[in-house]
């Protein structure tokens, strides 16, 4: 069967009632026939039928053996890091999600786990960064927000030769486009909040493993630490996954049209989208994915925070907000939002310039989205040519024209 058909018919019909929608088992505990004798469940932190259905579904989607659902994507990342111990080292992609960077640097570093950030698009760089203490290689592909592409097969060979784990954050691609475990990865992590949920109405995280033994270690940590996904959000996530392939197909088609438009606009400096033939990772992305996703990033000719602020606060259909992967199009400014926690120099080294803007292309008509971008960019270009983008709050060009969010996402 094709993937969409297989997905839809892998969601079980309730054996008790015949309900085609998975029941929400909204309970904290389960009656036991005798101490330790039950119908498969005893306490909802340890296991819940609705959550179990979700976990089995995601494991199947990723071609894995075991999946564990968590209360957020960062809780899922946290569970993977708890597989390590003091003295271990991680090699991580340099263009990393700001929340993961914060967790690595401000939480786990003090426990003696160190991280070396490198350009994982070059396997030789990854190989040269290995030490006897390296236990985990952490990649995003595509990365957030510059959409770099890492060759999963090549990095997997390096990880296996060194006897360390390869973990892939597959949030941007989703299993509708890419299945890292089938390409040699050991662990896949998702922010289920994004494409898996797809409707901007839940927070969730998932870890999937290829090896059943490793999966059971993650399940132990899920129960021991307790950052589980509740039954209602598990049900919402199942409902979102039912339309995953259909949504991602449309996201990808519209994103490609948006990227092609941005490439030719005079106000745009550079477009980051792996579906473009000009993208340096295009051929690798095409070889390991079924499509190129719904995220497009770009930088402006006027590379200032002020210019970026002007753009992200002027669009009509693209709403300024955190997150991505929902049916409504979103726009964000990584330097002040998702990646604010990363030091400015490190951001710029990774390609996150002051004017870099990230678009999550939704399910609106692509022509309408392009017209929204065209109108906003035309106004920005007119202001730039007339010198009307003046100084910011403190009298310096390039400083924000309004206070940035205080909370680092």
Please report, for the chain, how many H helices and E strands are present, in that order.
13, 12
Catalytic member of 88, 169, 186, 310: 169
Distance separating alpha carbons of residues 147 and 295, to the nearest angstrom: 8
For the sheet with 319-320, list strands across it.
Answer: 268-272, 295-300, 357-360, 330-332, 319-320
Output the six-digit token pair for 225.
Answer: 């630490």
Catalytic member of 51, 82, 194, 384: 194
Residue 396 a catalytic site member: no
Instruction: Give φ, ψ of 135 to 5 degrees.
Output: -120, -15
Residue 195 a catalytic site member: no
Catalytic member of 45, 374, 379, 409: 45
Instruction: Measure CA 219 to chain center.
Output: 21
What are 298's strand-pairing partners?
271, 357
Q: Are 291 and 177 in contact (CB under 8 A)?
A: yes
Distance separating alpha carbons of residues 282 and 271, to the nearest angstrom: 13
Distance separating alpha carbons of residues 64 and 184, to the nearest angstrom: 11
- Pair type for strands 114-118 and 89-93: parallel
Distance separating alpha carbons of residues 37 and 359, to the nearest angstrom: 51
Residue 169 a catalytic site member: yes
Catalytic member of 25, 82, 95, 97: 97
Distance separating alpha carbons of residues 92 and 82, to the nearest angstrom: 16
Q: Are 69 and 58 in contact (CB under 8 A)?
A: yes
Residue 97 a catalytic site member: yes
The dihedral sign for the CA sequence 194, 149, 7, 72: negative
Residues designated catalytic: 45, 97, 169, 194
């Amino acid at each position: 069967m094709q993937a969409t058909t297989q997905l839809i018919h892998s969601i079980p019909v309730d054996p008790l009632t015949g309900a085609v929608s998975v029941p929400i088992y909204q309970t904290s505990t389960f009656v036991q026939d005798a101490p330790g004798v039950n119908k498969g469940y005893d306490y909802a932190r340890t296991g819940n039928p609705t959550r179990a259905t979700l976990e089995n579904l995601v494991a199947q989607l990723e071609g894995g053996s075991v999946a564990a659902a968590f209360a957020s994507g960062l809780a899922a990342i946290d569970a993977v890091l708890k597989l390590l111990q003091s003295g271990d080292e991680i090699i991580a992609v340099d263009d990393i999600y700001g929340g993961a960077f914060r967790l690595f640097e401000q939480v786990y570093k003090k426990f003696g786990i160190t991280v070396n950030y490198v350009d994982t698009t070059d396997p030789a760089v990854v190989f040269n960064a290995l030490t006897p203490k390296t236990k985990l290689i952490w990649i995003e592909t595509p990365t957030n927000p510059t959409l770099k592409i890492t060759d999963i097969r090549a990095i997997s060979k390096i990880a296996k030769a060194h006897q360390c784990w390869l973990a892939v954050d597959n949030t941007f691609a989703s299993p509708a486009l890419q299945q890292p475990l089938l390409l040699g990865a050991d662990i896949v992590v998702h922010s289920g909040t994004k494409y898996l949920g797809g409707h901007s109405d839940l927070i969730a995280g998932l870890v999937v493993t290829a090896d059943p033994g490793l999966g059971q270690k993650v399940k132990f940590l899920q129960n021991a630490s307790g950052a589980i996904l509740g039954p209602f959000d598990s049900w919402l996530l199942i409902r979102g996954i039912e339309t995953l392939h259909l949504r991602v197909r449309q996201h990808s088609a519209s994103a490609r049209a948006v990227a092609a438009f941005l490439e030719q606009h005079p106000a745009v400096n550079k477009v980051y989208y792996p579906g473009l033939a000009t993208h340096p990772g295009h051929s690798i992305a095409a070889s390991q994915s079924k499509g190129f996703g719904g995220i497009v990033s770009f930088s402006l000719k006027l590379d200032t925070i002020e210019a970026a602020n002007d753009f992200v606060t002027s669009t009509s259909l693209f709403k300024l907000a955190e997150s991505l992967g929902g049916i409504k199009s979103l726009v964000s400014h990584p330097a002040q939002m998702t990646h604010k926690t990363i030091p400015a120099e490190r951001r710029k080294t990774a390609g996150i310039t002051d004017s870099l803007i990230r678009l999550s292309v939704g399910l609106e008509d692509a022509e309408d989205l392009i017209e929204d971008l065209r109108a906003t960019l035309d106004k920005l270009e007119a202001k730039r040519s007339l010198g009307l983008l003046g100084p910011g709050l403190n009298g310096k060009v390039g400083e924000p024209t309004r206070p940035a969010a205080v909370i680092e996402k």
